[in-house]
Amino acid sequence: MSSSWFEQLESQLEQQLEAFLGSHPGQQELLELEELLERQRRLRRRRLQIQAQAEQLRQALLQIAGEITQWQERVRRARAAGAQELAGRAEAHQGQLMGQGRDRWQLLGELGKEFARVEQELQELEQRQQARPKPSGQPAREPVGDPATGPDLERAWADFESRQELEELRRRSRPAGP
């Protein structure tokens, strides 16, 4: 019985809200705008979290790459000294480090995909906001994205940094030449 009472109350409140918004169309616009702005704020916070996580992963990758290079040198020195058993153990450890690097690289790729999804959603919301007529009596808001510093530049810069780090990792993981 209490659920039917609750459903009746919910229905009555919904009807009152619809009647109010029907007689005050500006309030509906303001409500929709506030929801849009709140969604943008949440997405921006998530974007910052993703960027921080990606930076942590990049630092971890650089550390692992340094350790791999160190162990490659140890393997070389052990082989040169005829310590095959030690060289084998060092190679196994190096392989574990490379596995950790691959795992972190995969996580970084997943973060990149999530970052792109968040950026796309933010762009769509910003376009919807700019396309909306401004509610009467409300000051016009400044556009959210500047083309020179907007999402396209951020995405291009993130891609550039990722490519640079990948090249650095490849360069470090190559055995030293003769």
In a domain, 2, yes or no: no
> Diameter of the chain by CA atoms?
89
d(CA 91, CA 103): 18
DSSP run (H or E) holding 178: none
pLDDT of 98 reads: 97
Listed residue (71, 60, 61, 62) closest to 95, CA to CA: 71
Give residue 165's pLDDT band: very low, low, confident or very high (50, 70, 90).
Answer: confident
Digit-coded pLDDT (tens) for 14-54: 998 888 888 888 888 888 888 888 999 999 999 999 999 99
Give CA angle at 164 (76, 115), nearest 5°.
125
In a domain, 167, yes or no: yes
Q: Which domain, by its residues, includes 155? A: 52-128+144-178
In a domain, 154, yes or no: yes
In a domain, 62, yes or no: yes
Digit-coded pLDDT (tens) for 50-72: 999 999 999 999 999 999 999 99
In a domain, 113, yes or no: yes
Count of domains for the chain:
1
Question: DSSP secondary-structure letter at 145?
Answer: -
In a domain, 120, yes or no: yes
This model's pTM is above 0.75: no
DSSP string, 54-120: HHHHHHHHHHHHHHHHHHHHHHHHHHHTT-HHHHHHHHHHHHHHHHHHHHHHHHHHHHHHHHHHHHH
DSSP run (H or E) holding 49: helix 25-80
In a domain, 81, yes or no: yes
DSSP run (H or E) holding 141: none
d(CA 121, CA 132): 17
Q: Give the list of residues 6+ apart from residue 39 with CB closer than 8 angstroms, or none.
A: 125
